[in-house]
């Protein structure tokens, strides 16, 4: 417990005392029931005090109100002094001292081998038990070391039976004085009574095996009972207590300590788990070596991995149980730091390697850019200008650009990306833009083509849906170099695609690509590392940006083009969903257009498509016979999709019913209203993305969420409420991450690379931040880790595959 924690916990007791003692006890007689106030406050926090101190405090409070003013003053002063001294008593203990590990790589490898042995090698674990652990994915000794308690129970202090209070959770030790069955309301109950010399306590079992109970609790045996104290006919008792026997207590495993409670393993008792884990810790924790330099750990107040693991399974008596339970103890933090440190080290290494690779130094004075800006019907926003300047600076440098361009939907990233493309093209290089889906690639293509025409740039589309002949033509154009700009999907990765002179790679990423895919496309440029610009429309919480995009520099467009009216988001239930369609009707009457979106849930894809198709039919025939209703979904042929989009874009169709394929990239400014059906089935970020399809002009827009089954207070309800409250993409992304966890937010494909064992980017944000600082500083100091061979070994072991570090090593 740190000094600050103590201050906080003693607060309720100290505050009234300080209040009455202020200004020479001016308030002393203004507080009517000081004794009662103090008693209540004391009961709340009395667990913090050691027994002797507790009884001293109790004595000082007892009878306070009845005293004379002088005596009262004295007592109050004494109480304050006692509490202040309690504070210094429990000031944080010194961390154990440790040194840098000095280990040969061979020894390290032999340790690794031992740790990866089956749990069966542990004392007391046979094939049967090993099988049970395996069902929990605990197969090796190391798995067991990292099988962390889910909570802790405070069993540090044995209480005297005489001082037990009803309702508290306590651990007592005593001798069995009575043992046997009794009848209670025609039910048999097994009961024992124990004594410790200060009083009697009963324990009761309603479910039991009588013979075993009698054998377990013979009169005279010493037992330890733990549980909640209740009262029955004026007698204190514990129902179904946890039981221990002091004679078994060789290593203090189950009582007299902060007791770890492990996640359950089917068919294995907590006691057995504790015993097996204890054996593993005893024998192997010291071999779980991680060589983060001791000076870094000491500076951050952390412990090396072996000590952290030991502490997690065997906390010290002075550790704060609350911190342990909330996984913010120094042990947990050390573990999180350890994980983050290597991840950040890997990212720092990648970044430094890319930063030192030979790149292209573009001349950023571009006539095409000037001409293009002159022809644009609007002026760039301040944020767009700032970000473009950052990009230009990168492009001019001799080293490759590796930049992430973040910004909410509709903030104008595409224009900025196009400007960067113009610079590359003017320098005689080619540009490739990679989009995650075909429809998005097509959208980008159409958007860029409009711009490209203005400026004399040859642009092409390359997706899987093209015919072989079309593909071949594009490939030829790229190889020969007369196509300056290609937009495509992962089809761009294929071996048959080669570039004459690739200079800039733009990735519109939507979390769907990772570090690896970016690298694959970059490799298409022979000899020289092209510049890379990654665009993402879902704002990424800072925490995630530091992990997934940790090897990139970041630019943020945090300003929407002027004149945009905030989108109004409204929630409708099944009952009043008609109202949503009334709003649609009003918008259509103004000559605007509308989207109606249906969720696509994979396991019932057919049904969902049916729903969208049926709905399109129904809307056309029954609701909006005077308008054209179109349909767009992912199962349509590319040509059909293209036609559906073009019809909507050019206004031949006024209502577009679609699945989530329109999630990204679609830009139809005259569409001012979007109905999202079954909104409760969508994730927060996805809803935000969808909503970004409207509000793309100076006209007021609506996003109408129709929830067909929604329980108040449900998670879905919370999501939809957040969406109605804010259009701030960063806030939504943070909320979404809190709800779904970072893995979900990234999509399974990426989260795989970044799966962390224990650390949590939200809970352990401070550790992530610290690890990033330290790791980047270390790489700055020693870019190839030549002075840290073991550290490098561990780094490669942990991240080589996932982050393709081979190229770095």
Q: Tell me the three state secondary structure of residue 225.
A: strand
Scanning 402-410, 607-615, 633-641, 682-690 for contacts with ligand ADP by CB under 6 A, the matching segment is 402-410
Q: Determine if 415 is a binding residue for ligand ADP (CB under 6 A).
A: yes
- Binds 292: which of Mg ion, ligand ADP, none (CB < 5-8 Å by kind): none
The nearest distance, CB 628 to ligand ADP, in angstroms, is: 23
Of 25-33, 340-348, 389-397, 403-411, the segment contacting ligand ADP by CB under 6 A is: 403-411
Q: Which residue, 654 or 697, is less far from ligand ADP as judged by CB?
A: 697
DSSP state of 541: P
d(CA 315, CA 312): 6
Total residue count of the chain as it appears in this document: 809
Euclidean distance between CA atoms 410 and 539, whole angstroms: 12
Q: Does 419 bind ligand ADP (CB under 6 A)?
A: no
**Candidate residues 9, 155, 257, 413; the one interacting with ligand ADP per rule CB under 6 A:** 413
Give start and end residues of each alpha helix (H) in 636-788.
638-649, 684-691, 715-725, 729-746, 748-753, 765-781
Following DSSP, what letter does each residue of 485-531 receive, concatenated? EEEESGGGGSTT---SSEEEEEEE-TTTS-HHHHHHHHTTS-SSBPE
Q: How far is the CB of 92 from Mg ion (least distance, A)?
A: 49
- CB 433 to Mg ion: min, Å: 18
Q: Which is nearer to ligand ADP, 220 or 563 (CB)?
A: 563
* Piece of 338-346, 407-415, 570-578, 606-614 that binds ligand ADP (CB under 6 A): 407-415
Give the nearest distance from C-beta 773 to ligand ADP in angstroms. Answer: 31
> With contact defined as beta carbons under 8 Å apart, do 414 and 433 qualify?
no
Which listed option, Mg ion, ligand ADP, none, makes contact with residue 359 (CB within 5 to 8 Å by class)? Mg ion
What's the closest the beta carbon of residue 401 comes to Mg ion, in angstroms? Answer: 5
241 touches which of Mg ion, ligand ADP, none (CB within 5 to 8 A by kind)?
A: none
Closer of 14 and 411 to ligand ADP (Cβ): 411
* Residues sharing a CB contact under 8 Å with residue 120, sequence separation 6 or more, in sequence order: 126, 127, 130
Q: Which is nearer to ligand ADP, 562 or 610 (CB)?
A: 562
Distance CA 88, CA 69 (A): 29
| Contact of residue 439 among Mg ion, ligand ADP, none (CB under 5-8 Å per partner type) | none
Rounded to 5 degrees, φ, ψ at 14 are: -75, -35
Q: How far apart, in Å, do the first and last CA atoms of the chain sit? A: 42
Nearer to ligand ADP, 192 or 674 (CB): 674
Query: Does residue 669 interact with ligand ADP by CB under 6 A?
Result: yes
403 close to 351: Cβ distance less than 8 angstroms? no
Q: Which does 278 bind (CB under 5 to 8 A by kind): ligand ADP, Mg ion, none?
A: none
Site track for ligand ADP across 499-538, x = CB under 6 A:
--------------------------------------x-
- The site map against ligand ADP for 684-703 (x = CB under 6 A) is ------------x-------
Closest to ligand ADP by CB, 34 vs 557, is 557
Q: How far is the CB of 594 from ligand ADP (least distance, A)?
A: 18
Buried b or exposed e, range 80-100, using 16+ CB within 10 angstroms: beebeebbeebeeeeeeeeee
With CB under 5 to 8 Å by kind, the binding choice for 618 among ligand ADP, Mg ion, none is none
Does residue 293 sit in helix, strand or coil? coil
| Helix (H) or strand (E) segment spanning residue 391 | helix 382-396
CA distances from 539 to 107, 385, 554, 557, 764 (A): 45, 19, 12, 10, 20
Residue ranges binding Mg ion (CB under 5 A): 359, 395, 397
Q: Are strands 222-232 and 169-184 parallel, antiparallel or unpaired?
A: antiparallel
Binding string, residues 535-574; x marks residues near ligand ADP by CB under 6 A: --x-----------------------x-------------
- Could you tell me how many residues of this chain bind ligand ADP (CB under 6 A)? 17
> In a 10 Å sphere around its CB, with 0-12 CB exposed, 13-18 middle and 19+ buried, how is residue 388 labelled?
buried
Per CB under 6 A, the list member of 79, 258, 285, 411 interacting with ligand ADP is 411
Q: Which residue is nearest to Mg ion (CB)?
A: 359
Helices (H), ranges, 286-366: 294-299, 305-313, 321-325, 330-356
Per the CB < 8 A criterion, the answer to whether 453 and 484 are in contact is no
- Helix H or strand E encompassing 87: helix 69-89
Residue of the chain from 34, 115, 305, 409 that contacts ligand ADP (CB under 6 A): 409
Show Cβ contacts of residue 399 under 8 Å, excluding neighbours closer than 6 positions: 354, 355, 356, 357, 358, 359, 529
Other beta carbons less than 10 A from residue 701's beta carbon: 23
Tell me the closest approach of the beta carbon of residue 519 to Mg ion, in angstroms. Answer: 17
Find the shortest distance in angstroms from Cβ 407 to ligand ADP. 5
Strand-pair partners of 189: 182
Contact 699, 565 (CB under 8 A): yes
Report the distance separating Cα 619 and Cα 622, nearest Å. Answer: 6
Among 315, 412, 541, 695, the residue binding ligand ADP under the rule CB under 6 A is: 412
Interacting span for ligand ADP (CB under 6 A) from 95-103, 404-412, 584-592, 753-761: 404-412
**Residues 424-463 within binding reach of ligand ADP (CB under 6 A):** none
Q: Which residues within the stretch 349-388 sit at the binding site for ligand ADP (CB under 6 A)?
A: 378, 380-381, 384
422 binds ligand ADP (CB under 6 A): no
- Answer positive or negative: Cα dihedral of 79, 82, 84, 86: negative
Do 260 and 149 touch, CB atoms closer than 8 A?
Answer: yes
Q: Is 575 helix (H, G, I), strand (E, B) or coil?
A: coil
Interface with ligand ADP (CB under 6 A), residue from 410, 436, 503, 742? 410
411 binds, among ligand ADP, Mg ion, none (CB under 5 to 8 A by kind): ligand ADP
Shortest CB 684 distance to ligand ADP, Å: 18
**Segment contacting ligand ADP by CB under 6 A, of 121-129, 154-162, 411-419, 497-505:** 411-419
Q: How far apart are CA 106 and CA 790, in angstroms?
A: 10
Measured between alpha carbons, how far is residue 157 from residues 82, 238, 248 in Å? 21, 17, 18
- Given Mg ion, ligand ADP, none, residue 541, with its beta carbon under 5 to 8 Å by kind, binds none
Residue 5 interacts with ligand ADP (CB under 6 A): yes or no: no
Binding flag, residue 98, ligand ADP (CB under 6 A)? no
Would you say 145 or 360 has its CB closer to Mg ion? Answer: 360
What whole-number distance in Å separates Cα of residue 313 and Cα of residue 303?
14
Does position 641 bind ligand ADP by CB under 6 A?
no
Partner from ligand ADP, Mg ion, none binding residue 514, C-beta < 5-8 Å depending on class: none
| Interacting residue ranges for ligand ADP, rule: CB under 6 A | 378, 380-381, 384, 407, 409-415, 537, 561, 667, 669, 696
């Amino acid at each position: 417990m740190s000094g600050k924690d103590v201050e906080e916990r003693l607060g309720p007791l100290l505050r009234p005392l300080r209040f009455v003692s202020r200004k020479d006890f001016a308030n002393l007689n203004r507080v009517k029931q000081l004794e009662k106030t103090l008693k209540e406050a004391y009961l709340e926090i009395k667990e913090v005090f050691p027994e002797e101190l507790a009884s001293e405090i109790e004595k000082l409070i007892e009878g306070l109100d009845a005293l004379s003013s002088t005596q009262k003053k004295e007592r109050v002063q004494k109480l304050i002094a006692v509490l202040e001294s309690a504070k210094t008593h429990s000031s944080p203990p010194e961390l154990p001292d440790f040194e840098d590990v000095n280990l040969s790589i061979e020894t390290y490898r032999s340790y690794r081998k031992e740790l990866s042995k089956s749990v069966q090698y542990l004392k007391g674990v046979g094939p049967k038990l090993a099988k049970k652990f395996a069902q929990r994915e605990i197969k090796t000794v190391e798995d067991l070391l990292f099988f962390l308690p889910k909570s802790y129970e405070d069993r540090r202090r044995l209480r005297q039976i005489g001082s037990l209070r009803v309702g508290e959770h306590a651990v007592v030790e005593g001798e069995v004085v009575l043992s046997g069955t009794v009848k209670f309301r025609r039910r048999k109950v097994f009961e024992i009574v124990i004594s410790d010399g200060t009083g009697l306590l009963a324990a009761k079992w309603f479910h039991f095996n009588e013979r075993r109970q009698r054998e377990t609790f013979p009169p005279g045996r010493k037992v330890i009972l733990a549980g909640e104290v209740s009262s029955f006919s004026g007698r204190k008792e514990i129902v179904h207590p946890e039981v221990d026997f002091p004679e078994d207590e060789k290593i203090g495993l189950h009582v007299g300590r902060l007791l770890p409670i492990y996640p359950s393993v089917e068919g294995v008792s907590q006691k057995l788990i504790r015993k097996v884990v204890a054996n593993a810790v005893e024998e192997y924790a010291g071999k779980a070596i991680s060589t983060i330099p001791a000076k870094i750990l000491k500076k951050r107040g952390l412990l090396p991995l072996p000590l952290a693991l030991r502490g997690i399974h065997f906390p010290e008596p002075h550790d704060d149980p609350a911190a342990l339970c909330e996984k913010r103890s120094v042990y947990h933090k050390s573990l999180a730091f350890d994980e983050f440190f290597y991840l950040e080290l890997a990212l720092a290494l990648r970044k430094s390697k890319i930063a030192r690779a030979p790149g292209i130094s573009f001349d950023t004075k571009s006539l095409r850019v000037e001409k293009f800006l002159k022809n644009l019907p609007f002026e760039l926003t301040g944020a767009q200008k700032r970000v473009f300047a950052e990009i230009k600076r990168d492009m001019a440098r001799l080293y490759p650009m590796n930049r992430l361009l973040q910004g909410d939907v509709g903030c104008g990233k595409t224009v900025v990306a196009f400007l960067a493309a113009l610079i590359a093209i003017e320098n005689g290089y080619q540009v490739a833009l990679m989009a995650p889906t075909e429809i998005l690639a097509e959208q980008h293509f159409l958007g860029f083509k409009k711009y490209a025409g203005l400026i004399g740039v040859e642009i092409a589309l390359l997706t899987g849906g093209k015919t072989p002949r079309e593909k071949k033509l594009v490939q030829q154009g790229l190889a020969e170099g007369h196509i300056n700009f290609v937009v495509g999907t992962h089809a761009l990765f294929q071996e048959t695609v080669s570039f004459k002179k690739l200079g800039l790679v733009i990735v519109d990423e939507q979390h769907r690509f990772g570090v690896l895919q970016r690298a694959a496309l970059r490799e298409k440029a022979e000899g020289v590392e092209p510049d890379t610009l990654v665009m993402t429309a879902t704002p990424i919480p800072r925490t995630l940006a530091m992990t997934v995009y940790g090897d990139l520099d970041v630019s943020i467009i945090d300003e929407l083009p002027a004149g945009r009216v905030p989108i109004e988001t409204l929630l409708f239930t099944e009952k009043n969903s008609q109202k949503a369609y009334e709003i649609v009707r009003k918008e259509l009457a103004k000559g605007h257009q509308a989207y109606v979106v249906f969720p696509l849930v994979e396991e019932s894809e057919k049904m969902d498509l049916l729903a969208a198709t049926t709905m399109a039919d129904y809307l056309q025939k029954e609701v909006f016979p005077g308008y054209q209703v179109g349909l767009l979904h992912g199962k349509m042929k590319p040509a059909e999709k293209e036609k559906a989009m073009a019809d909507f874009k050019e206004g031949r169709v006024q209502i577009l019913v679609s699945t989530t394929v329109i999630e990204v990239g679609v830009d139809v400014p005259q569409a001012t209203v979007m109905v999202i059906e079954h909104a409760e089935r969508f994730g927060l970020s996805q809803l935000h993305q969808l909503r970004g399809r409207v509000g793309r002009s100076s006209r007021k827009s609506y996003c109408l969420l129709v929830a067909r089954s929604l329980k108040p207070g449900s998670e879905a309800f919370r999501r939809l409420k957040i969406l109605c409250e804010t259009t701030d993409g960063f806030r939504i992304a943070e909320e979404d991450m809190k709800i779904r966890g970072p893995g979900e937010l990234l999509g399974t494909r990426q989260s795989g690379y970044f799966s962390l064992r224990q650390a949590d980017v939200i809970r352990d944000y401070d550790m992530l931040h610290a690890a990033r600082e330290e790791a980047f500083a270390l790489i700055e100091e020693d870019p190839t880790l030549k002075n840290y061979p073991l550290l490098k070994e561990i780094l490669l072991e942990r991240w080589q595959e996932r982050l393709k570090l081979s190229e770095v090593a």
